[in-house]
Amino acid sequence: MSDSLQAKHGRIELVLGNIVEQAVDAIVNAANTKLAGGGGVDGAIHRAAGPKLLEECLRLPADEEGRRCPTGDVRVTGAGNLPARYVIHAVGPVYNERYADKARRQLREVHERALAAAAAKGCRSVAFPAISTGAYRFPLGEAAPIALAAAQEHLRQATSVQLVRFVLFSPPQLEVFRAALKALAGPEGV
């Protein structure tokens, strides 16, 4: 089964691994609206990047409740000690079955915006975790096709981004993304 899909302007790739180890131009963080760190991917990224990352996040403007980025949107910082140049902090939706349509829309949007932000910085390679599928409880089988379709759509336009890598944290997660990538490639496969 293929772990990559060639789109018009670039390639989508799936790997099993840790987002903090990716030597790409930008890694995407599954952040929260405060951008003040957290658990999961967010915690791992802040630990590996060192204190400079948090300092940079806290310098971003916040509203009166301390929110620096609304749900569905992104903010870009440097990457501290990480091998990447930028961290794109992406706030995915908290999944709620009653508002599943809204969550799906916001998940799509956050991927689109992360890719647009990467392109605005001239990035050639971007690595994503499976945003919202941990603490935010978005079902992985629903999230994978949304994330992959957003990447495919971005790579249909002229963009600096040539590689969109999804970094899955466990073999079962990788399998779910593989099945979604296969479905995206269509009956011909690519």
93 lies in the site for ligand APR, by CB under 6 A: no
Nearest to 119 by CA among 166, 91, 78, 158: 158
- Write down the least CB distance from residue 28 to ligand APR, Å: 10
Q: Which of residues 97-116 bind ligand APR (CB under 6 A)?
A: none
Whole-number Cα distances in Å, 86 to 56, 60, 64, 93, 130 = 12, 15, 27, 22, 18
Question: What SS3 state is found at 89?
Answer: strand
How many residues at the interface with ligand APR, by CB under 6 A? 25
133 lies in the site for ligand APR, by CB under 6 A: yes
Using CB under 6 A, pick the residue from 24, 53, 56, 136 that binds ligand APR: 136
* Options 3, 25, 42, 63, the catalytic residue: 42
Q: Are 88 and 28 in contact (CB under 8 A)?
A: yes
Q: Which of residues 19-78 bind ligand APR (CB under 6 A)?
A: 19-20, 30-32, 38-44
CA pair distance 182, 115, nearest whole angstrom: 21
- Write down the least CB distance from residue 186 to ligand APR, Å: 26
Q: Which is nearer to ligand APR, 57 or 159 (CB)?
A: 57
- Write down the least CB distance from residue 116 to ligand APR, Å: 19
Whole-number Cα distances in Å, 18 to 1, 37, 71 = 21, 17, 24
Residues 6+ positions from 102 with CB-CB distance below 8 Å? 93
Which span sits near ligand APR by CB under 6 A: 109-117, 123-131, 147-155, 181-189?
A: 123-131
Cβ neighbours around 132 below 10 Å, total: 27
150 lies in the site for ligand APR, by CB under 6 A: no
Residues near ligand APR (CB under 6 A) are 18-20, 30-32, 38-44, 92, 129-136, 167, 169, 173
